[in-house]
């Protein structure tokens, strides 16, 4: 995770689609690993990741933006929120 010059944060995640449930499972190669209970079709997995992260960070989904990795398992998400609940990312 790194801070953006204009405010906000960049979070790099590694996604495992079609999992039994959506959950954070730890770290993989320096990226937050998230299992998603959605297929990687029609951006369903991308939408599920953004919705899940919004709930975990206790922010609005509109404060998250997928900026890289639309069709990849590795994604970069911009968090445009002043006070996200970072502790939520530590709960597996």
Each residue of 57-83: pLDDT tens digit? 999 999 999 999 999 999 999 999 878
pLDDT at 86: 86
pLDDT at 50: 98
The pLDDT, as a whole number, for residue 7 is 80
Greatest Cα-to-Cα distance within the chain, rounded to the nearest angstrom? 37
Q: Tell me the mean pLDDT in the region 29-58.
A: 96
Query: Residue 1 pLDDT more than 70?
Result: no
Task: Measure the CA–CA gap between 67 and 81, rounded to whole angstroms.
Answer: 15
The rounded distance, in Å, linking the Cα atoms of 15 and 42 is 15
pLDDT at 15: 97
Q: Would the pTM count as exceeding 0.75? A: yes
């Amino acid at each position: 995770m790194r801070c953006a010059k204009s405010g906000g944060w960049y979070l790099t995640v590694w996604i495992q689609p079609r999992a039994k449930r959506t959950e954070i499972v730890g770290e993989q190669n320096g990226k937050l690993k998230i299992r998603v209970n959605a297929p990687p079709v029609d951006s369903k997995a991308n939408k599920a990741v953004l919705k899940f992260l919004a709930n975990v960070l206790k922010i609005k989904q509109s404060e998250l933006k997928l900026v890289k990795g639309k069709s990849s398992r590795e994604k970069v998400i911009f968090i445009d929120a002043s006070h996200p609940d970072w502790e939520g990312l530590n709960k597996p």
